[in-house]
């Protein structure tokens, strides 16, 4: 994925995620997260082909690539809620609460016997939503997911997760979770990571991803679906995908699977733009 190929494929929106390995501790995470946010502001978000989305009004710039800045993994916050306000001032509009492990907010999906959100995590969720920062529960453990569902006053998203019913990977969503996100008006972005699509390599295809989309639509409805490809975060691609340009195959596959033109437009762009317009007002 790069800007040239995104524009060549007629993309209208892309989320750029700041990520730093949380294993080096919260102090290093803070330092590097702030450095990477600043790097994005200097090198990406000022490009003439890009329009930085920080509020709903920014979504009207249809002649440029709309870009949202996010942070994947809230380890940088440690125990200081002010840092949420700081990254908001720097233009961040979505935060993935955990990566796979444990931080001060709660446990990620790979924590054995993982718990839910901490008391501080509940405070952080409120602080983020008060600032119109989108809560992302991809990577969050299941108990934490339900804590967010109980505490959140606004819809939240699973920005890059698939359906557990089709592939039992810890990063995928169970049907109850899909229904919960949908009932609250949230979004689920389907993920290209092969291991989240199917357990065996021969079944890790774009056609199999369409089956995840069909399942999520059947469980939670069309309106909760969008694309969360994770092309900036995965090292192996499913069969049939070489780079971001191959995502142009998806509308035809969705049509073959029985989706209408209106539904395909909603999945590929409309649901996401509607959600952002409502959330960032």
Q: How many angstroms from the chain centroid is the CA of residue 133?
A: 13
Rounded Cα gap, residues 121 and 150, in angstroms: 13
| DSSP state letter for 167 | S
The whole-model pTM stands at 0.97
Rounded Cα gap, residues 186 and 155, in angstroms: 5
Per-residue pLDDT at 106:
98
Q: Within a 13 Å sphere around the CA of 203, how many CA atoms are in the beta-carbon half?
A: 11
Rounded Cα gap, residues 108 and 47, in angstroms: 34
The topology under which CATH files domain 155-281 is: TIM Barrel (3.20.20)
* Cross-strand bridge partners of residue 189: 226
Per-residue pLDDT at 49:
96
* Cross-strand bridge partners of residue 135: 95
With residues binned 3-state (H G I as helix, E B as strand, rest as coil), the percentages for the chain, rounded to 5, are: 45, 15, 35
263 three-class SS: helix
Per-residue pLDDT at 261:
98
Q: Are 74 and 120 in contact (CB under 8 A)?
A: no
Per-residue pLDDT at 61:
85
Q: How far apart are the first and last CA of the chain?
A: 29
For residue 238, what are its two tokens? 């499913």
- Mean pLDDT across the chain: 97
Rounded Cα gap, residues 74 and 247, in angstroms: 29
Q: Low-confidence residues of the chain, pLDDT below 50?
A: none
265 contacts: CB under 8 Å, gap ≥ 6? none
Rounded Cα gap, residues 38 and 69, in angstroms: 11
The H-or-E segment that residue 16 falls in is strand 13-19
The structural domains of the chain, with segments of one domain joined by +, span 1-150, 155-281
Q: Which superfamily does CATH assign the domain made up of 1-150 to?
A: Metal-dependent hydrolases (3.20.20.140)
232 three-class SS: coil
Per-residue pLDDT at 281:
87
Rounded Cα gap, residues 173 and 157, in angstroms: 12
Nearest to residue 108, comparing CAs of 60, 140, 155?
Answer: 140
């Amino acid at each position: 994925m790069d800007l040239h190929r995104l524009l060549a494929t007629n993309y209208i929106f892309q989320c750029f995620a700041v990520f730093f390995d949380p294993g080096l501790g919260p102090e290093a995470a803070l330092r590097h997260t702030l450095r990477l946010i600043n790097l994005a502001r200097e090198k990406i978000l000022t490009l003439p082909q890009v329009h930085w989305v920080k509020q709903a009004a920014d979504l009207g710039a249809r002649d440029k690539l709309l870009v949202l800045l996010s942070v994947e993994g809230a380890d940088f916050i440690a125990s200081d809620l002010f840092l949420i306000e700081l990254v908001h001032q720097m233009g961040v509009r979505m935060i993935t609460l955990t990566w796979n492990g444990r931080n001060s907010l709660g446990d990620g999906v790979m924590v054995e016997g993982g718990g839910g959100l901490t008391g501080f995590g509940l405070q952080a969720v409120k602080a983020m939503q008060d600032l119109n920062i989108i809560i992302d529960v991809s990577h969050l453990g299941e108990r934490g997911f339900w804590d967010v569902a109980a505490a959140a006053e606004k819809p939240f998203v699973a920005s890059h997760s698939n359906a557990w019913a089709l592939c039992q990977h810890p990063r995928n969503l169970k049907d109850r979770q899909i229904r919960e996100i949908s009932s609250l008006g949230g979004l689920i972005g389907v993920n290209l990571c092969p291991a989240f699509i199917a357990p065996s390599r021969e079944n890790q295809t774009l056609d199999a991803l369409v089956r995840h989309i069909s399942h999520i639509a059947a469980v939670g409805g069309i309106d909760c679906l969008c694309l969360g490809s994770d092309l900036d975060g995965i090292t192996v691609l499913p069969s049939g995908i070489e780079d971001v340009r191959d995502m142009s195959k998806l509308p035809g596959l969705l049509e073959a699977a029985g989706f209408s033109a209106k539904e395909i437009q909603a999945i590929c762009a409309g649901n996401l733009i509607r959600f952002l317009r409502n959330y960032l007002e």
